[in-house]
Amino acid sequence: MAVTIKDIAEELGVSTATVSNVIHGKTKKISKETVRRVQALLEERQYIPNMAALLLAQNSSKIICLVISAHEKYEDKLLQDPFITSLLDHLATEIESSGYFMMIKRTKDINEVIRYASMWNMAGLVITGFCSSQDYDELRRNIRIPFVVMDGGFKPHSQCVNIGIDNADGGYQVGQYLIKMGHRDVLYVADNDMDMDHERYMGLRKAYEETSEDLEGFTYRIQFRKIALTSQERSANYGEILKEIQSENHKISAIFCASDVYAIELMNHLLDHHIQIPEEISIVGFDDIPAATLVRPKLTTVRQNIKQRAEEAMRFLSSDTAQGKSIMLEVELVKRESVSYREAKN
């Protein structure tokens, strides 16, 4: 049976109010000897406080809530997504090391966050998966605690910070590398043409456009291929790409996927049908999830620093003078084994 405040008070011959005040750090009117006795017995009896009551009594919260969009693309496996699990891991480390507790909320409706935040005494929120500025209009009007948004397409206010990455530069780095490796016909694969995925695509195009302007006779072709949100439908999309690669007039030599998950799915589909990577087709991903080094060939990809995202989030949320701003973190192309040199005509 769990030890209660009343049990501790009766054993020491003090009031329950005295024990409660020691637990909550209100010891100005209590003798040092009594404080010592209460603390020693609490430890000996392994008393576990009711954290909700403790935080309420302190009139300050130590709860940071991570709110994640339960988008249909996760197919009810949100917490199994490699990017989400990595973010959870790094956030948990930063939150716990800062003396806070982490709470997780999954929702498809960002407006539900308003009601959820009002139910708990939170110190702050970290929100990810909601991108458009419209998603945050109600939040900015109705939430009074600091919150951090990962990759939000909006301008922050005084109690909010938007932490993103340089998606366009990531795409640009991929483009520069593929050009250097002789690839002139590139397919870009994503499940949408908005926000982050659009920026990555535009960065890729920029690299080729600049080279075309600087290098006489340089020709290229970049195609955008939208794939489905569900894995079953994506498999059909990958089948269509396979047919193109196997066709006699096949010209595509490299494929840049908007995420490592899609890149690895596509690689597996092609390898299952005896397409050699990178000899017949080169593949590039984005994110640098742990699986990128486990697949064969190891995936060339754009690395984003999720640990740094978590550090920046907690630095803002634990600040007494939180000022709203946008933070853009750098990305880095990681060259591995999934891209080979292709002899170019120009």
Helices (H) and strands (E) in the chain, counts: 12, 12
> How many C-beta atoms surround the C-beta of residue 241 within 10 A?
20
**Final residue before a domain boundary, out of 58, 77, 95:** 58
**Final residue before a domain boundary, out of 43, 58, 73:** 58
Residue 342 inside a domain? The answer is no
| Domain containing residue 249: CATH number | 3.40.50.2300
Mean model confidence pLDDT for the chain: 88
pLDDT at position 299 over 80 = yes
Residue 235 inside a domain? The answer is yes
Residue 95 inside a domain? The answer is yes
pLDDT band at 55 (very low <50, low <70, confident <90, very high): low
Q: Two tokens at 66?
A: 């991570």
DSSP 100: -
Per-residue pLDDT tens digits for 87-110:
999 999 999 888 888 999 998 888
What is the side-by-side order of every strand in the sheet holding 300-304?
221-226, 185-190, 254-257, 282-287, 300-304, 331-334
Same domain, yes or no, for 76 and 180? no
Same domain, yes or no, for 250 and 266? yes
Report yes or no: 168 and 203 within 8 Å, Cβ to Cβ: yes
Residue 336 inside a domain? The answer is no
Residue 268 inside a domain? The answer is yes
Rounded to whole angstroms, the Cα distance separating 23 from 40 reads: 12
Residue 50: domain span? 5-58
Average pLDDT over residues 259-268: 97
Residue 343 inside a domain? The answer is no
Per-residue pLDDT tens digits for 195-225:
899 999 999 999 999 999 999 889 999 999 9
Residue 346 inside a domain? The answer is no
Proportion of the chain in helix, strand, coil states, percent, rounded to 5:
45, 20, 35
pLDDT at position 140 over 80 = no
Same domain, yes or no, for 171 and 275? yes
Residue 335 inside a domain? The answer is no
Same domain, yes or no, for 128 and 248? no
Q: What pLDDT score does 320 carry?
A: 63
Same domain, yes or no, for 255 and 320? no
DSSP codes, 258-273:
SSHHHHHHHHHHHHHT
User: At 243, which amino acid appears?
Assistant: K
Structurally, the chain folds into a number of domains equal to: 3
Same domain, yes or no, for 298 and 187? yes
Same domain, yes or no, for 182 and 212? yes
Same domain, yes or no, for 150 and 181? no
**Final residue before a domain boundary, out of 58, 81, 96:** 58
pLDDT band at 67 (very low <50, low <70, confident <90, very high): very high
pLDDT band at 34 (very low <50, low <70, confident <90, very high): very high
Q: What pLDDT score does 302 carry?
A: 98
Q: Which of 1, 11, 341 is nearest to 182 (CA)?
A: 341
Same domain, yes or no, for 322 and 249? no
Same domain, yes or no, for 159 and 197? no
Q: What pLDDT score does 234 carry?
A: 95
| Domain containing residue 20: CATH number | 1.10.260.40
Per-residue pLDDT tens digits for 123-137:
889 999 876 666 676
Per-residue pLDDT tens digits for 143-198:
778 888 888 766 666 678 889 999 999 999 999 999 999 999 999 999 999 889 99
User: Could you give the count of Cα atoms lying within 13 Å of 193 in the half-sphere of its Cβ?
Assistant: 6
Report yes or no: 259 and 189 within 8 Å, Cβ to Cβ: no
Per-residue pLDDT tens digits for 218-252:
999 999 999 999 999 999 999 999 999 998 888 89
Same domain, yes or no, for 147 and 201? no
Same domain, yes or no, for 195 and 83? no
